[in-house]
Amino acid sequence: MVFKTIIQRNVRLSEAPSYGESIINYDAGSKGATNYLSLAREVITKNA
pLDDT single digits (tens) 8-43: 999 999 999 999 999 999 999 999 999 999 999 999
- Integer angstrom CA distances of residue 38 from 14, 18, 19, 28, 29: 18, 23, 23, 12, 13
Q: In 3D, which of 45, 41, 22, 19 has the Cα closest to residue 32?
A: 22
DSSP-assigned letters across all residues of 7-45 = ----HHHHHGGGGT--HHHH-TTSHHHHHHHHHHHHHHH
| Amino acid code (one letter) for 4 | K
| Amino acid code (one letter) for 21 | E
pTM to 2 decimal places: 0.86
